[in-house]
A = this chain, B = another copy of it.
Amino acid sequence: MNKIPVGVLGASGYAGRELCALVLRHPRMSLAFATANEQRGTTSRIAGRDIGLVAPEDAALGDVELVFSALPHGASKEWIARAQQAGARGVDLSADLRPGNGCEGIAYGLTELNRQGIGNAGVVANPGCYPTSILLALAPLVQQGLIPDGAVVVANSASGVTGAGNSPKREMLFAEVTEDFRAYGVGNDHRHLNEMRSTLESWGANADLVFTPHLLPVARGILSTIAVPLTRPLDDVLDPWRSTYAAEPFVEIAAAPPSLRDVIHRNVVRISAAQLSGTRTPMLLVTSAIDNLLKGAAGQAVQNANLMLGLDETAGLPV
């Protein structure tokens, strides 16, 4: 079968490398180019092959059907536009085109919840890693009207360090991260918060979201722990997810809270929930785990690209 040529912009970061690896192993895609600004002219060992890295200016945008951009926030938007002008479709992994960041009207690539919009889109804004883990967990409760008006939903997330990229920063050195744990961006992580609040609003939710990210001494993975007030207690605490995500290949509903190792190196979200006792309002404690580089970035990007290109949605994705 012929393979469809695609390109990767920003192939030197963690998400970009993961994208290249997925494309290289994909049964229906071929990697036409991989760009890296600083490392232009070098080769990178990915998935057992030596991949040449070219300057973005030298990428043959017109020769591919689809471009993935893992460029930094701010720089990505322009290159997605260039790719479009060259006739390619685009999946943007940066925050540039996501909802709540000043650029509405772009298809939002939370795959399980927006297949129609994604399939026909010229450009898809791939969701942030934190929003993926939280929004997929909250959607069934919103859709089924289970969250009271004016409720406060409190989401705590903890992420492995690959979420911060591989630019050398002192605070990300091994000696600084090992045996440590901390919250960051407290009250200020507007990028992810805006994306989530805007999306929840678009779903008709009328709740307040509190979100605090934390940095874990692990390489990969995000765990979100979400306290949600309910309009009524649930007889079957997992029913909202089971009924919403029946037959979804990349969503796992679990009786026990997921751990990072349940999801690492897999393009899945794993969700659990438990009813809390001793609160006046009925409340759920929802936990949700993803691999930040797969379902939280490159995996979901390929899932969206599969839809856009008319391929089997699961093609090339590790479950």
Chain A positions near chain B (C-beta within 8 angstroms): 14, 48, 150, 152, 154, 156, 158, 160-162, 166-170, 172-184, 186-188, 193, 197, 208-210, 212, 214, 216-221, 223, 225, 227, 229, 257-261, 264, 272, 274-281, 283, 285, 287, 319
Which single member of B193, B264, B279 contacts A210 (CB below 8 Å)? B279
- Shortest C-beta distance, A256 to chain B (Å), equals 9
Q: Does B175 lie within 8 Å of A160, measured CB to CB?
A: yes
Question: How many copies of this kind of chain does the complex include?
Answer: 4
Q: Does B223 lie within 8 Å of A276, measured CB to CB?
A: no
- Shortest C-beta distance, A290 to chain B (Å), equals 12
Which single member of B48, B212, B319 contacts A48 (CB below 8 Å)? B319
A-B contact pairs, 16 of them (CB 8 A): A152-B229, A160-B175, A162-B175, A166-B170, A166-B175, A167-B170, A174-B174, A174-B217, A178-B217, A179-B179, A181-B218, A182-B258, A182-B260, A183-B285, A197-B278, A214-B223
Q: Does A187 lie within 8 Å of B274, measured CB to CB?
A: yes
Inter-chain CA distance A180–B217, complex, in Å, is 9
Q: Does A173 lie within 8 Å of B170, measured CB to CB?
A: no
